[in-house]
Amino acid sequence: MAAVAPAFANAQIDASDVKWDEEWDVLVVGSGFAGSAATCQALDEGAKTLMIDKMPVLGGNSAINGGAIAVVNSSFQKARGIEDSYELYMKDILKAGLNLNQTELIETIAKNGNDAYEWSLKKGVYYRDALGQFGGHSVPRTIWPEINSGGKITIPLQEYAMNHGATIRTRVILDDLIRDESGKIIGAKVRENYDFIFDPLKDEADNKSGTVKFYKINGGIVMATGGFSYDVKFRQTIDPTLTPDLDCTNHYGATAYALKMMMANGVATRDLEWIQLGPWGSPDEKGFGIAPVFAIPAFSYGVMVDARTGKRFINELADRKIRSDAILKIHKNPDGSLTHPIVICDSVGAQGTTKANVYRGIHKNVIKVFDTIKELAAHYDIPYEGLQKTIDDYTRYAHAGKDEEFNKPFFKFKGIVPDLTKPPFYAWRALPKVHHTMGGVKIDVEARVYDTNGAPIEGLFAAGEAVGGPHGASRLGSCAIPDCLVFGRIAGANAANLAKKERKC
């Protein structure tokens, strides 16, 4: 599988012609996990820091993310006697990524993830006392903020930044990078008062709104601009099978505009062809929705069945790519119609998320509740005998601690074996959605961005989904936030340190 990266004309600006409007030590572009972490870290290093976002609100995809973060040797693992290791964490990420990952990057995430979690505590983030096991992980290592929302991480970080001297601006889009004669990044061309207009089939470059300004940057620019999942036109140049009718979990601003600008400036990219689908989407709601949140206990403690037979067809805790591929393989009927798989758990399994999440799902008519399996089967037109056999077999596997069909790992919930026997029963229809772009710009363990000649570009750093390399072919669930926090901090610190060097010269 190989993708041809679209070519773009060089867009460099002659620095000698620029009249600077403002001067900063560090410019952070993007306000999600990576951008917010970079901003906080740059401030802690004493840098005069500006964070911008092209959207009218802060947070990007991070604000609508479920907030799950997987780290090794957390206090949550220690309290529950869970044995884990950096090596096992890396092994799980490499397996999901089909061993295409940039190994030194995932090693950095593995060894620094728990430090990033503890750092976030000091910045005002609160986590609830829970530990989960996402699909593809060998052991439970996933934790959550007080509610399942990435905004519960980004907002405290942004509040810390503002309280410690950062300037944060929305509706500012980065148009170009400005270099000196040596090639070092020394500034940025932006447009303030930018009006984002959502049209996934058009090129965002056609939007000329806003007032042009030039920022002089003494240290570095941190690109934390996220992925391009909602840029239908661009993603189809990468993978034509990702057609416009395929829904997306991202916010509308998740376009390739910043990526294309960097490519025009000679930045190297990798893994653009790997675009991940989330297997926990539902056709009964648009965007990210509530189904992915409820999917955590449903996949962990329940089953996913083919509605035409009532039989399981995949390990419900396999990684995202394996599950998404399995769903798309079986859900089309010969006449072209679709039959969506059904995910089912019982009342014990449903306790794996908050009551508020369950109520939200029911209220939105995404999650259905049934007193009996027979009622559930009738509602979804599933052959009852086939479904009941699946339930009986799964119950036997759960109590034996061995899945004879798909080798799914079993674990108890609060000392109880979730075995699909305790009503009421909860169910929802599953359909993968475009979720995450693994590809992006190439960096090293110092978060330095590389050019197409294989050299680091002085003054340019990147972190988060804007980067290619950490996740290979498919990102392992709950590994994005540690990636963003770890490399956001590294990028922010190194950008700030460049400004310190400039002041000493």
Using DSSP bridges, classify how beta strands 303-305 and 22-29 pair: parallel, antiparallel or unpaired. Answer: unpaired
Q: Hey, is 156 helix, strand or coil?
A: helix
Query: Residue 450: enclosing H or E segment and its boundaries?
Result: strand 448-450
The region that residue 46 occupies, defined by phi over 0 for left and psi between -120 and 50 for alpha, beta otherwise, is left
SS3 content of the chain, % helix, strand, coil (to 5): 35, 20, 45
The identity of residue 319, as a single letter, is: D
Q: Which residues contact 317 (CB under 8 A, 6 or more apart)?
A: 133, 134, 135, 136, 137, 299, 300, 408, 409
Query: What is the spatial distance between Cα 208 and Cα 231, in angstroms, rounded to a whole number?
Result: 18
Alpha carbon distance 133, 141 (integer Å): 6
Selecting among 141, 191, 235, 320, the annotated active-site residue is 320
Sign of the four-CA dihedral 270, 225, 178, 193: positive
Give 204-262 as a DSSP string: GGG---SEEEEEEEEEEEEE-----TT-HHHHHHH-TTS-TTS-B-S-TT--SHHHHHH
Distance between CA 157 and CA 116 in Å, rounded? 12
Task: Tally the C-alpha atoms within 13 A of residue 422's C-alpha that lie toward its C-beta.
Answer: 11
In the structure encoding, which two tokens stand for residue 172, read together?
């500012």
3-state secondary structure of 24: strand
Q: How far is CA 461 from CA 83, 106, 190, 261, in A?
A: 35, 17, 17, 14
To the query of whether residue 235 is one of the catalytic residues in this protein, the response is no
The encoded tokens of residue 452 equal 């197409």
Catalytic annotation, residues: 320
